[in-house]
Amino acid sequence: MDFSACNLFIDGAKVAGLGDAFDVINPATEQPLASGNTASVEQLNQAVDAARRAFQTWRQTTDADRTTLLHKIADAIEANADELARIVVQEQGKPLFLAQGEVGGAVAWTRYNADLAIPVKVIEDSEHKRIEAQRKPLGVVASITPWNWPLMIAIWHIIPALRSGNTVVCKPSGLTPLSTLRLIELINDVLPAGVVNMVTGEREIGEAISLHPGIDKVIFTGSTPTGQNIMANAASNLKRLTLELGGNDAAIVLPGTDVDAVAEGIFQTSFLNMGQTCAALKRLYVHESLHDALCERLASLAKEQVLDNGLNEGVTFGPVQNARQLQVVSELVEDAKAQGARILSGGEPLQREGYFYPPTIVTEVSNGVRLVDEEQFGPALPVIRYRDLDDAVQMANDCSYGLGGSVWGPDPAAAEAVARRLECGTVWINGHAEVLPHAPFGGCKLSGLGVEFGVEGLLEYTQLQIINSNR
């Protein structure tokens, strides 16, 4: 892909943005990958108009035709997998193996949604009456995606929208627009012009999307404050919303747990994508009988990681994606140090080019310390010692977020009993951060509204219509 400029995609064609200039920075080198201009509000209007025109035809396509076309999109992603993975590494920072997994996941998610059936529910079928609950597409769906999983989350938003008969205007993060742009090119090689469009921009374009009368639904993955702003603006035309927002996922390790059996799983799900995952494990509550041994094992795993540019061979841990997020992580760890925390590994940025922060294990902290109370969204894990299980559950629930949580222990029944007490949308047992195309996923509290994935997630892109027929 030519990185010389970053463009928009409107009505089947690449166009240059007419808004503010911006650079896409490689977080491993701090050097620009591409430069371009964001969309103007007028160009957003053009993209919405194109999507509305295309909707009149796209909504009439059959389920079989949509299934065939979505599988062709999956074929195109698969055929360009290496290129897409390398773009992701360069704009986002993750190691190549993880980017390859992201592309593979995008293919699998596309194929799963391609084959999903939209159900028709028969409410009554009697001698004199038949009542059916049918599902219709909403119209134009706007997708706003973040910088942590730029390709995968675009797929999560766009493909169900297409499967249910909607058209799309997507706005990727300005930090990581390149993989989305390439994805939209591939999609437009398969679908009619205007069905999927892309604009870039930050606050001005985001506000215009959430206020736009021609947009029928917004699906957003990102911060809670931005989600709240979208929700307020969406009231202008009662847009449908799916909001997957912040998380500060807690995990509880029960007494009697085999430390060696769970340490690797806890480490990997805490530091997945350098900790930059909404549903990563972010607070770890460990029974006092296991605390020191588990901390030692986690610190050992942290020190084994190879930090470098994700395109280099043998790298297991990449940089934080941007300078601002690096500063957030640094400030939270420094605050914990000031509160008496012990740093068992890492603890400060690497003095080299790139936004590198090593995986950091922090102990001798508890609720009330910022690193525990706030979502760090980066490579620092606070480990909190507990004695009484009820106290651990209370501390885990003492949070305004409710995305995910987990319980680790040798007795599945005992672990499930604790899991049912956690206030979050998904609870994993002896695992964490596993999202699957067939399992609905969404948060409670300030972690979001609505669900994604599975049939339940697909139906969020539709309007229920009751057909009441008298015979």
Cα gap 273→148, rounded to integer Å: 8
Give pLDDT, residue 1: 58
442 lies in some domain:
no
Indicate if 284 and 173 belong to the same structural domain.
Answer: no
Determine, yes or no, domain membership for 156. yes
Tell whether 260 and 278 lie within a shared domain: yes
Same domain? For 320 and 213 the reply is no
Helix, strand, coil abundance in the chain, percent, nearest 5: 40, 25, 35
pLDDT confidence of residue 19: 95
Q: Is position 2 within any domain? A: no
CATH number of the domain bearing residue 402: 3.40.309.10
Query: In the prediction, which pLDDT does 262 show?
Result: 98
pLDDT score, position 151? 98
319 domain-assigned: yes
Tell me what pLDDT residue 7 has: 86
| Helix H or strand E segment including 108 | helix 96-114
- Same domain for 273 and 182: no
3 in a domain, yes or no?
Answer: no
Within this chain, do residues 347 and 215 fall inside the same structural domain, yes or no? no
Cα 198 to Cα 430: distance, rounded to the nearest angstrom: 39
Place of tokens 């909001």: 243
Q: Catalytic site residue 132?
A: no
Confidence at residue 353, expressed as pLDDT on a 0 to 100 scale:
97
**What is the CA angle 424-454-457, rounded to 5?**
70
Whether 6 is catalytic is no
Instruction: Please name the residue that has the structure tokens 């449908």.
Output: 240
89 vs 55, 307, 309, CA distance in Å? Answer: 34, 14, 8
Distance of alpha carbon 290 from alpha carbon 253, whole angstroms: 8
Those residues of the chain that have pLDDT short of 70 are 1-4
Shared domain check, 432 and 317: yes
Cα–Cα distance, 88 to 149 (Å, whole number): 8
Pair (93, 222) in one structural domain: yes
Cβ–Cβ under 8 Å, residues 167 and 192:
no
CATH number of 166's domain: 3.40.605.10
User: Is 176 in the same domain as 201?
Assistant: yes
Of the listed 91, 102, 244, 375, which one is catalytic? 244
Same domain, 459 and 430: no
Question: Half-sphere exposure of residue 65, counting CA atoms within 13 Å on the CB side?
Answer: 10
For 470, residues 6+ apart whose C-beta sits below 8 A from its C-beta are: 128, 129
Which amino acid, 101? G
Q: What are phi and psi of 455, to 5 degrees?
A: -60, -40
The total domain count for the chain is 2
Q: Are residues 130 and 149 in the same domain?
A: yes
For residue 2, what pLDDT is reported? Answer: 61
Query: Which pLDDT value is given to residue 343?
Result: 98
pLDDT at 3: 60
Both tokens assigned to 232? 């307020």
Residue 366 lies in a domain: yes
Residue 79 shares a structural domain with residue 214 = yes
- The one-character DSSP state at 460 is T
Give dist(CA 315, CA 312) in Å, integer: 6
What is residue 344's predicted lDDT score, i.e. its pLDDT? 98
C-alpha to C-alpha distance for 174 and 457, rounded to whole angstroms: 26
In which domain, by residue range, is 223 found?
Answer: 8-245+447-470
Q: What are phi and psi of 341, to 5 degrees?
A: -70, 155
Which residue in this structure is represented by tokens 């360069």? 90
User: In which residue are the tokens 């604009």 written?
Assistant: 199
Enumerate helices (H) and strands (E) in the chain, giving the number of each.
Answer: 15, 22
Is residue 441 domain-resident? no
Q: Tell me: the pLDDT tens digits for 248-274?
A: 999 999 999 999 999 999 999 999 999
Look at the alpha carbons of 52, 57, 62, 65 in this order and tell me if their dihedral is positive or negative. Answer: negative
Catalytic residue selected from 170, 278, 295, 424: 278
pLDDT recorded at residue 210: 97
Both 116 and 221 in one domain: the answer is: yes
Helices (H), 256-410: 259-270, 291-303, 323-338, 370-373, 389-397
CB 95 within 8 A of CB 274: no
- Asked whether residue 348 is domain-assigned, the answer is yes
